[in-house]
Amino acid sequence: MIKKYILIFWTVLIAGSSFSQSLTLNGFKSVSKNGISPILHNKEVKGYTLFYEGDKADRKNSNYVIDIYDQDLKKVKGIDLVKPKDDYMLVSNVYNDEALAFLFYDFKKKTFDIESYSNDLTKLGEINTLEVTKADNRTMVQNQALSSSGGQSAYSTSISLYPIPKKGFVKNSINGYSKGWVLEMYDNKLNKKWSLESGDTKDYQNIIPVDATEKYLLLSMLQRKSLLSQKFESFLILIDVETGKKLFEISPESDPTEQLSVTGISLDEATNEIITVGDYYMTSEKPGFAAGTGFYIKKFSIEGKEINKKFYAWNKEVMKVAGNQYIDQSFVNFTHQIQKMADGKTYIVVEQYKRKFNAGGAAMMALGGSASVLKGVIGNILIFSLNNSDLSLSGVKQIEKEESTVTLIPGSEIYGPGITGMLMKMFGDFDYQFIVNSANDKTFNAVYVSYAKEKGEAEKKIIGNILLGDDGKITEDKIEVAGKVTTSYIYPAKPGYILTVDFLKKLKQLDLKLIKVNSK
């Protein structure tokens, strides 16, 4: 959330130049990355919300504002809210083609609120004091700490509001004993349609909504025996959006010899097929613990039947297609994104990482401090392209960048590299930031930021843009950003652009700027 000063008399505060592709906002005393969030429609950025707390409304409440901007940074409308002062947070905003919904969390009351708005930003519905479980509250407190420390990966995906195209929104949360999950579907006016609960399961289950159409909601489920268990099992769950009925729950492992992790899932509305991508492991290894042997891609029918699968070993098939490119085999690959495009190909974006001994951390541990004996090293980004028809690997493109080192959380050493990758993703340690598509699925822009992370994000950095052009070629464009600001963030933007947000604390100024990315 962003905190803003009270309006000072005789000064123009929100002085935005909407004619240019930049916007300067004054009067802000602090920012966090999740204070601004993009509004997505068909994977394309269509606007932003800026959530901030203003002055006091009464003894217990503050005046909050959600300013809505379009994709060109033109202000559309400000929504005024009177909500409990200080401990109130906008968790997420989502758009489902017909309505925009906001999920808030009240840390004092320990409740969720949801508000929904139509395209003309008139309120459609409101739910206040949605009860939360202890596990939800614990997760929200952790998320708040994450958000305020680095501002990177703000929220755990185990609590979210997920848009169901034109139909409404699904809220997922953790059940009271952290073992199971709860899904609740609301229509655009926030009338409850159905709920689905796992109940208290034998194992620990965690679900993440990954894709949805007007008919189906696809979930990824991770399951483990205990909280300290090193073995994760992955499942795909398909839900009927109208009834909330579970249509299937399947493991991506269709053969006893397969040891798979799931890092990317998508639901293809046109073909009604489900694609899963992830790492595969030796049968003697545990998914998530050891380094993967390679990556796999599988297709399932909407009935949950496996249609096709392909396995590509890092040191064999991948190297063969990579040709002359030297790919350092000492790294492990983390899959960030799978993107099915209109050119008949599916692109998989992975980033290299590895763990190395952290002498400083070991010394601190010896002295009784809290540190990790390991550091994370981040390497290059690899883009794999596969033909949709037969899932054959047609290209490997390595995007070279400076190696950077991150401090891992204490206790990382007890997990294997697979779990370390997930933790690094959760803590925003990777250089990869986001990918944005054009609505016609012809182009994408995958963005990473390269900087000396241990010195902080305000240092000089490189914003790298990996572009898939209309011509089907992948090119790269690097933007150098001078680090003279207190805090700097980047966000997805309209096709061909990125949004940079700089916070100048002394001036209490927030500078938002759309930067056009160069494509040949």
Contacts with other proteins, residue ranges (CB under 8 A): 6-10, 18-22, 39, 41, 46-47, 54-59, 63, 68, 70-78, 95, 119-121, 469, 479, 496-497, 513-520
Structure tokens at 432: 């990869």
| 421-439 exposure pattern, b = at least 16 Cβ within 10 A, e = fewer | bbbbbebbbbbbbbbbbbe
Minimum distance between the CB of residue 24 and other proteins, rounded to whole angstroms?
A: 13
- Residue whose CB is less far from other proteins, 370 or 440: 440
Q: Measure the CA–CA gap between 461 and 433, rounded to whole angstroms.
A: 13
Contact 196, 246 (CB under 8 A): yes
CB of 382 to other proteins, least distance (A): 25
Token digits of residue 415: 């997990």
Least Å distance between CB 7 and other proteins?
4
Q: How far is the CB of 387 from other proteins (least distance, A)?
A: 26
What is the rounded distance in angstroms from the CA atom of residue 418 to the CA atom of residue 281? 11
Q: CA-CA distance, 246 to 223, in Å (whole number)?
A: 17
CB of 480 to other proteins, least distance (A): 8
Of 514, 441, 440, 516, nearest to 477 by C-alpha is: 516
Give CA angle at 380 (364, 277), nearest 5°: 100
* Integer Cα distance of 2 and 147 in angstroms: 12
Q: How far is the CB of 502 from other proteins (least distance, A)?
A: 14
Nearest residue (CB) to other proteins, 64 versus 334: 64
Compare residues 237 and 479 and give the one whose CB is closer to other proteins: 479
Distance in angstroms (rounded) separating the CA atoms of residues 412 and 419? 8
Q: Which is nearer to other proteins, 95 or 384 (CB)?
A: 95
Beta carbon of residue 121, minimum distance to other proteins (angstroms, whole number): 5
151 or 472: CB nearest other proteins? 472
- Counts of helices then strands in the chain (DSSP H, E): 4, 35
| Residue placing its CB nearer to other proteins in the complex, 506 or 520 | 520
Rounding to the nearest 10 degrees, give the CA dihedral for residues 156, 426, 36, 508: 120
Per this entry, what is the length of the chain? 520
CB of 235 to other proteins, least distance (A): 34
- How many CB atoms are closer than 10 A to CB 86? 12
Judged by beta carbon, residue 62 or residue 220, the one nearer other proteins is 62
Looking at this protein, which amino acid is placed at residue 137?
N
Could you please report the per-residue DSSP string of 420-457? Answer: HHHHHHHTT-SSEEEEEE-TTSS-EEEEEEES-GGG-T
If the CB atoms of residues 27 and 35 are measured against other proteins, the closer one turns out to be 27
Smallest separation (angstroms) from other proteins to the CB of 308: 34
416 or 492: whose CB is closer to other proteins?
492
